[in-house]
Amino acid sequence: MPKNIKNIAIKTLSKAWAILLEINYDYQFKDGTWKRVSRESYDRGHGTGILLYNVEKSTIILTKQFRMPIYHTNKDEAMSIEVCAGAIDYNDLPESTIIREVEEEVGYKVKDVKKVMETYMSPGALTEKMYLFVARYSEDMKVSEGGGLATEHEEIEVMEIPFSKALKMMSSGEIQDAKTIILLQYAQIHNIFK
């Protein structure tokens, strides 16, 4: 533990969908002064995301779904275009989680996924670490229409689009989801379509 933090006091504010904590602590700044700081931390566990790509067709698979937090701040952008993603349940491994999510959300049964990075998406407020993957897909892997699970109240539109179009959608602001932007840029930087 860093030596410039002490007297940590944690109070649970909510245990509804996830855990919202108020964390108060004393923090020593570079000038030597100690100040009492208060922050909120939202713990919803860790998550996974994956960019599915088809080299022969130069396409990728994305999802489109309603996101209430976006709707709350900007109703016009509430239908979010994203890579397939999902929360890690219990003691599951990130790899097994994303393989399961791919089948549930987009209807493909992939076996081999490549982890490209781990990242905190909003470390000022969320404890969530995202495990990001890429994987090839082909038509022979399709096992269902996807769309998510009714038991999880999901209604997911599956989008197969050219990679070049996705890059334009990112540049125009049609795609604003951070994990999706990271994976699209990863694909571009690493030339996964060559």
56 among annotated binding-site residues? no
Q: Strand pairing of 34-43 and 19-28?
A: antiparallel
Cβ atoms of 86 and 137 within 8 Å: the answer is no
Was 101 annotated as part of a binding site?
yes
85 is in an annotated binding site: yes
78 marked among binding-site residues: no
Known binding-site residues for Mg(2+) equal 85, 101, 105, 154
Provide the annotated binding site.
85, 101, 105, 154
